[in-house]
A and B are shown apart, each in its own frame.
Chain A
Amino acid sequence: MQFRQVQATLHSWFGIVVLWSVFLIFFTGSIAYFRTEINLWSKPENFLYLKAPPSSLESAQVAYDYLNTHAPDAKRWRVNLATSRMPFNTLEWQDQASKYHKLQDPNTGLILTEGRESLGGDFFFKLHYSLYPLPDVVGRTLVVIVGVLFLIALITGIFTHKKIIKDFFVFRSFKGQRTLLDLHHITGVVTLPFYLIMAFTGVMIFFYLLMPMGINQQYGQNGIKKFYSEIQYSNVPKPAEDSGIQLKEFSVFSRQLPQQGSNGAVLEKIEVKNPNTAEALITFNYGYNKLITFNNPQFIFAANTGQNLNSERNLHPVAQISSATYGIHLGYYASQWMRGILASLGLVGCIMLVAGALLWQKKRIKQQHTLSYNVVAYLNYFTFLGLPFATAMYFLANRILTASLEQRIQYELGIFFISWVGIVFIAMLVKMQKAIVLAFIFTAVILWMTVFSPIVLAPQTFFFNTLRHQQWSVAGVDLVLMLIATGYIFACFYFKKIKLREVAK
């Protein structure tokens, strides 16, 4: 076998083995770029409180005072401060009994309690990296294995489709297999750097699951925390031994903090470890604006004395590579437009995967009555049409399930997974071509219903109202859902046109 033939074989095998899981990972990853907006959109009861947030230091003061009053004995506080994307403080704290997660109006300090329970966009993020609701370690390990195999499929793909640059400028529509090949080439070339980088950084984030020997050998069985502490900081700050146990007032810290970090970003996060104990540490993190590493401006104080502890980041080149894998993959550096571009690249890559899978099917059309061919056909349908359909159902469930429903999150997840599996029955009951058209139409209709259901259920949260009140974050989600629904209708017409031409031939 020639070198290129070997690469083509590897590309086909690795491609077909990981195709569906990669589609799931990239599809949910693309959505997860906007999880903050989806989180906001998924709690329409809070739209009433949507206002421009105060300065980040003022928001921080409000959150700090609340936690110091209501959770003085917690093990840890974490606060994501209100921004233009998410105009509420997100408070998280943990005590001996359980973990708490609340939204706070940064203008008044009011805790928003009437919001419906929903995982919102966080569900897609969890599904992306840990195949939630699988156990965390199992899910992450599967994702990292898929990532490695996908990376190999990408590299062998470069050798297989060797004329990719020339082929990039060729698209022959309505030509069956050639059309799919051209589409695979075009989308493949556009997304290749993005996919290479995302697959590589994704695998390196969870490298300890794939290659645990080094850490186990050097740090012992549970040494991951220590490893990360050393690779992030060359000098881990420790509080003074003779400090008291009472936290200092917030003004003690805010006086020592700049309005903006060295990269022009404002304060975004606060974390307090062991509040109201002798070991209390408070960390102020500024944003990642323009930074692809995790070396954002950071100030750490002994929370009981107000002494600046001057943490030192580990600036070794290897530590910087480690830090950059996180920064690049998570995209915290990205502006809203950049986030849109990254999500679009993820979705264009999904089209590459669909074209590749259909190409695999077309090449084996003579085996269409074999079991393996049918399994692939059903898996394609289940993944490429089922997952977007289930996602649309998840969004609709968020709107139509009553806000006060007990265990609401479980119902939302139940609807997502049942509708995902359920769509396969359509393909079993009717012919595949008809099933494809139906899946397109159902998904589009459900997305339209999601956007328009608030007219009846909660008119103040309807798209036109959020648009009129310039609530861009939530209006943007509705707008994108409508655009995708329209895209589905066009895709349906295009698919029917292809089939009509095939029949005419």
Chain B
Amino acid sequence: MDKQKPEWLSIQEIFYICLAAYGYSLWISWVLPDYLPFAKAENIYLSALLSFIFLIFYIVLVPCNPSKLWQKRINYLSYILLLGYWIIRKLGEH
């Protein structure tokens, strides 16, 4: 069951949303250069630009989600994604 949504958006909630947004952006800027079609430097810059735009949209839009539970789930997903990708890369190195 989804918890009833409190009216107040606390600074802690905002902090966790920012952290998750950063996690997603970091992941995008890390992964995307491998899939963009341009030269290496351009791919890196474009992926950083896109991930930065994503970061802003995430922070502006996610707090508007009426379900606090879903907010948390979406936030946690970023940590899992980042950690999972890091582990896979580390395993791939060996």
Interface residues of A (CB under 8 A from B): 1, 3, 6-7, 9-10, 13-14, 148-149, 151-152, 155-156, 203-204, 207-208, 210-211, 213-215, 217-219, 227, 230-231, 314, 316, 318-319, 321-322
Contacts and interface: CB of A to CB of B under 8 A. Distances in A.
B60 A207 contact: no
Given A10-B14, A214-B29, A230-B41, A207 B63 contact: no
Of residues B9, B41, B48, B60, which shows the largest number of chain A Cβ atoms within 10 Å of its Cβ?
Answer: B41
B49 to A, nearest CB: 7
Contact of B42 (A203, A213, A318): A318
Of residues A151, A152, A208, A231, which shows the largest number of chain B Cβ atoms within 10 Å of its Cβ?
Answer: A152
Contact of A211 (B9, B38, B40, B51): B51
A365 B38 CA distance: 56
Contact of B56 (A6, A155, A215): A155
Of residues A149, A321, A322, which shows the largest number of chain B Cβ atoms within 10 Å of its Cβ?
Answer: A322
B60 A156 contact: yes
A152 B60 contact: yes
Q: Is the interface of B mostly helix, strand, loop or mixed?
A: helix
A10 B11 CA distance: 9
B44 A227 contact: yes
Contacts of B55: 148
B63 A6 contact: yes
A155 B38 contact: no
A7 B42 contact: no
A3 B60 CA distance: 10
A32 B45 CA distance: 27
Contacts of A211: 25-26, 29, 48, 51-52
Interface in B1-52: 5, 7, 9, 11, 14, 18, 25-26, 29-30, 32-33, 38-49, 51-52
A155 B30 contact: no
B39 A316 contact: yes
Contacts of A319: 41-42, 45
Interface string B36-78: 0011111111111101100110011001100000000000000
